[in-house]
Amino acid sequence: MARAGSGSGWMKVATGLLFMAMGCSTTSTIARIHEGPVEGHINGGSADSVFVARDAGGECEIKREEISSIDYPGNVHRNAGIAVLAYGAANIAVGLPQCQERTQNKAAFCTGVFFPSAIGLGLIAWGLLVEHGQTSAVADTSRRPSQPSKTSGNPRLARPCLAPGEP
């Protein structure tokens, strides 16, 4: 007879990973060459700029030439999903023979055998979907760039993105 709760440790780890992954942001972090990083949802772009919706509200613009790198969302979801899927595959390899032979609580047991793999696949799909949405928005050049400020000597854009803590 199997020991009660023998798989509960792994389930706690998988549940913890799931909750950690669900708490991850779906915004991109845009590192700039001469200013601080900006975090937000990339809405699209023009040939010269990328337009970012900030959590505080409003949309701002970053010149493409000022962007040094972009950390897209979804990679944590995808990687956690791969880990949960790997655990799920091991769970299936170990539990499938018991699932086929079981007579009592077969449906519940077999659901538990396959459930981690389903969660892992869902996390991978979510991560890829979120990442693709942001990379597609950066690649988009269909919007018109905003006009520079009319203030003399101000080379900045009409709606510049300020890093957290900037005035």
* Mean predicted confidence (pLDDT) in 53-78: 89
pLDDT for position 2: 45
Instruction: Give a yes or no: residue 8 inside a domain.
Output: no
pLDDT for position 132: 92
Domain with residue 116: its CATH number is: 2.30.30.100
Expressed as residue numbers, the domain containing 34 is: 24-139
In this structure, is the dihedral angle defined by the CA atoms of residues 108, 7, 127 and 58, taken in order, positive or negative?
positive
The separation between CA 61 and the C-alpha centre of its own chain, rounded to angstroms, equals: 22
Total of domains in the chain: 1
Instruction: Give a yes or no: residue 152 inside a domain.
Output: no
Query: What are 21-59's pLDDT values in tens digits?
Result: 555 667 899 999 988 899 999 999 888 999 998 877 788
Instruction: Give a yes or no: residue 146 inside a domain.
Output: no
* Mean predicted confidence (pLDDT) in 92-114: 90
Residue 29 bridge partners (DSSP): 39, 71
* Mean predicted confidence (pLDDT) in 2-7: 48
pTM listed for this prediction = 0.68
Cβ atoms 51, 45 nearer than 8 A: yes
Instruction: Give a yes or no: residue 60 inside a domain.
Output: yes
Which pair of tokens denotes residue 43? 């809405």
Instruction: Give a yes or no: residue 34 inside a domain.
Output: yes
pLDDT for position 57: 77
Instruction: Give a yes or no: residue 47 inside a domain.
Output: yes
Question: Which of 27, 6, 11 minimizes the C-alpha distance to 164?
Answer: 27
Angle between helices 75-101 and 106-139 (to 10 degrees): 160
